[in-house]
Structure 1
């Protein structure tokens, strides 16, 4: 049978109707074969019933049965054709792929590796491991190189187990000799556990990736907002400086015009004097000529008759007290600069008002922390007010509490971004406000400077304002603040203080380097009897439009 089947050709297993290999082949009474579905459909359409090959007519529709022999032969032919096609599709191994160890000449790509044989096989040479009973028990895995690494170097046995105690792969002999009484499990069990861990790790990694993608979008959005802010600031800056430039040019032009106008008046006055003098000179020259002529006359009568008229000087102006004084320009430039300064001050006020509105958008809720307050201080129940008292309270001297200076800090801390709050100082003659870093010393004498972690300003009891740096900087304020706004930009290293009611900048610490949490700090100052008994009050921020 097998020898005969090798002689069969593809044409012998093709249905003449569909021209494909037989499916459920049936035979007609005349001996020809067709797919059951093909001949059935043919006879459903064509009547009378006739063989498509020899055209033999049948009086009645033949009853067809599947030809078992032809069906088996067609199935074997189809399987043989598939195997040949599959064999022809095997690929030669490429660099980086595992080659078949049994191939001679051209090495085909391996499909599996055997952990028992320590060899890799292509589809053809893998066949025995799929069919022979003895080889079927071998463990096959996806093709890998360096199969010798899967053998125990000490006992030359497959690494089939995992020692959880020593976290290493071992063979059967290892568990008896070197890893006795250790927690040993099959590789598959540990593999499943580690695979589950890898799945969890992969999920965590994907979550981390997603978070970072979100962060990238946040950063890009921040850059876009920053670019918008920069463009807006540039536009506003150009507008302000253009207006200032125009004001300067206008003031300069007005100054020049004023000086030139004074000069023109002086020149006009001088020209009038000169014209008048020249006219008198002309008259005097004329009289001089007449006098000379009369002095040379021989006519006694004529000389005597004309002498009275010509001997007297002609009427002229007394020029003794007449002077042309250069115009005084004293104070002209100063007044012009003062006017320009007023104009600039108006622009500055508008800018500060706009700036204050922007920083007020960063307003935060701040409350006082009683655990940090000096024992002399009295805090309101809502944590919004503080003032000095004359009696020290009996409180625990915990590490957070200030013991020498009458300071108290807020419960809230800030380690990034921007924040702003306002404090009413109305009625006070002494106070200190600002921010501190978390690690400052709170015991004993403290020198409140930026070098020591303090960024503060104060009103002294002598009604003088200072920025507390070393040495102190005296602040010149046009008005006494009733409410002080404190603004911090952590990343920018900026701490600014504002007179809220006057919409004026009091002082700014710039170029600060913040690396710790920052806390708002408050010092209401000593009472000095009742002179400074008014409290510092943390006020809600009114966002003005």
Structure 2
């Protein structure tokens, strides 16, 4: 119990700066106590006069007043320590694996309570006593026990490593400054410790910020996954509804087709049954007459024969069957007609689906304005920046890197690097045009080959009725009636560019799996006016959701 009392008393009289028993204890205004030399040195090395314990700042620098009470208590503690009997090894704890052992103890080595940075030795409670009682040892620097204290000595000069060489980024002793590190940028370890500690705090703040950013990113990703799942569930439900309706249409068409075939067969079968029944009745009548003829031929009664001859000879009124036949119905056109009707029905259903889809994408409408700085010199823009056509005369315009020089093209001012957007363009009265989106970094000089590899996702019209998707190679499109207005929808993250015939609610073509990796700009080409046959402008129109 005496040992426990000693440990508690010693902790009460330790300076929080040097971790040693107080020497000339003083009290600062906040009430904390320190060695006079420790707090003086601390304030000398700092611009702010701050308490090392509670961090309270003082201005001006406070005067240091001796704490006589603590001085008397420390003196009493040291006096008791000198007369207190040594604690036996059996009362102390042996060092466990992972704990620092006392360097002085023989086996068993006891657990060290402190390590001395001057002696480079770790001490158990018993062997620490001289550092608490001997005036010469009380000024040694005691710290919590650490291993490998020899690593704190210079291997070349066998002196404590007390300096840091900024030039070579290594710890050195004072003697090193006269040899290997002469003229180097050297600073005390304490100062370097404070500097590196400040940097480490900054690093810690940066790490915490990075952790927070990544946690937020995780939340965003999880939110995106959740939104994706909701959208997937919604789209799946919509798709199931659409495909269920389509399958029901197909099933109804199949049932109607089978019923039509069966009805034709039943009609043929009924006609055959009626003919057979009528023929069988006539056979019965003829067989009856044949019997009468045979009986009359066998009669020897001349009178009876002559009297019956006229009656038997007269032929009954019967149908002439040589022109009567049962022709199997033709089923050849039935399948084609049924499939054609089904195609028409599915086309109509598809129009309804596309129309609903078009309504959904139209909600992403953006307000576009044509960029005159990108326009080919022969193009003419309206004052509101919504219309463009070929004027046939090359204007003298400033030579800008963003301007198209070889093709009659122009871009919108607005660019997009995420999300979805939609716009509509009137193409009425034109025989040639190009529409789509272009990568901001795509080439605009000379003749341009429009394809995704070159940063263009476009479709075009040529010769008044030839539509192609410039997918590299080009894809010939089946467009039944020329669209008067074309809608363009882009989903940046999905990598999707879709073109719609707005008037008939038909999907013209979709580029899928696109990789944009840059800003996208809406792309327009009214093409040349072709001697007036293609003089109509391309017009960016507002979306009509009615």
| TM-score strictly above 0.5 | yes
* Deviation of the 1:313 alpha carbon: 2.1
CA separation in 1, counterparts of 2:165 and 2:338? 93
Equivalence for 1:211: 213
1:454 aligns with 2:448: no
Matches within 5 A, 1:50-89: none
* Deviation of the 1:404 alpha carbon: 0.9
Equivalence for 1:53: none
Contact 1:374-1:407 within 8 A present in 2 as well: yes
Could you say what secondary structure the match of 1:256 adopts?
Answer: helix
Contact 2:430-2:464 within 8 A present in 1 as well: no
Equivalence for 1:165: 167
Contact 1:92-1:107 within 8 A present in 2 as well: yes
- Is the deviation greater in 286-295 or in 369-378? 369-378
CA separation in 2, counterparts of 1:377 and 1:111? 89
Equivalence for 1:324: 326
Q: Of 294, 299, 302, which residue of structure 1 is paired with 2:301?
A: 299
Q: Of 344, 347, 350, which residue of structure 2 is paired with 1:348?
A: 350
The TM-score normalised by the length of structure 1 is 0.77
Contact 2:78-2:132 within 8 A present in 1 as well: no
Q: Of 414, 428, 431, which residue of structure 2 is paired with 1:429?
A: 431
For residues 368 and 164 of structure 1, do their structure 2 counterparts lie closer, same or farther at Cα, with a shift above 3 Å needed? farther
For residues 332 and 207 of structure 1, do their structure 2 counterparts lie closer, same or farther at Cα, with a shift above 3 Å needed? same
Q: Mind listing any 5+ residue stretches in structure 1 that lack a counterpart?
A: 1-73
Equivalence for 2:288: 286
1:474 aligns with 2:476: yes
- Is the deviation greater in 458-467 or in 174-183? 174-183
1:339 aligns with 2:317: no
For residues 496 and 270 of structure 1, do their structure 2 counterparts lie closer, same or farther at Cα, with a shift above 3 Å needed? same
Q: Of 522, 525, 532, which residue of structure 1 is paired with 2:524?
A: 522
The TM-score normalised by the length of structure 2 is 0.77
Equivalence for 1:134: 136
Could you say what secondary structure the match of 1:135 adopts?
Answer: coil
Equivalence for 1:403: 405
Cα deviation per residue 1:508-539 (whole Å; 9 max; x = unaligned)?
12233344443332212222244433333334
Equivalence for 2:316: 314
- Is the deviation greater in 447-456 or in 253-262? 447-456
Equivalence for 2:513: 511
- Is the deviation greater in 460-469 or in 120-129? 120-129
* Deviation of the 1:245 alpha carbon: 2.0
CA separation in 1, counterparts of 2:86 and 2:390? 100
Equivalence for 1:70: none
CA separation in 1, counterparts of 2:511 and 2:125? 78
For residues 410 and 159 of structure 1, do their structure 2 counterparts lie closer, same or farther at Cα, with a shift above 3 Å needed? farther
Q: Of 189, 192, 208, which residue of structure 2 is paired with 1:190?
A: 192
For residues 269 and 453 of structure 1, do their structure 2 counterparts lie closer, same or farther at Cα, with a shift above 3 Å needed? same
1:151 aligns with 2:148: no
For residues 408 and 105 of structure 1, do their structure 2 counterparts lie closer, same or farther at Cα, with a shift above 3 Å needed? same
CA separation in 2, counterparts of 1:139 and 1:382? 82
Could you say what secondary structure the match of 1:387 adopts?
Answer: strand
- Is the deviation greater in 434-443 or in 227-236? 434-443
Cα deviation per residue 1:278-331 (whole Å; 9 max; x = unaligned)?
222222222222222222322222222222222232221122222222223343
Equivalence for 2:41: none
Aligned residues: 472
Contact 1:397-1:403 within 8 A present in 2 as well: no
CA separation in 1, counterparts of 2:500 and 2:170? 67
Contact 1:422-1:540 within 8 A present in 2 as well: yes
CA separation in 1, counterparts of 2:537 and 2:91? 91
Equivalence for 1:16: none
Equivalence for 1:275: 277
Contact 2:81-2:133 within 8 A present in 1 as well: no
CA RMSD in angstroms, aligned pairs only: 3.3
CA separation in 1, counterparts of 2:486 and 2:113? 79
Contact 1:419-1:488 within 8 A present in 2 as well: yes
Larger radius of gyration between Structure 1 and Structure 2: 1
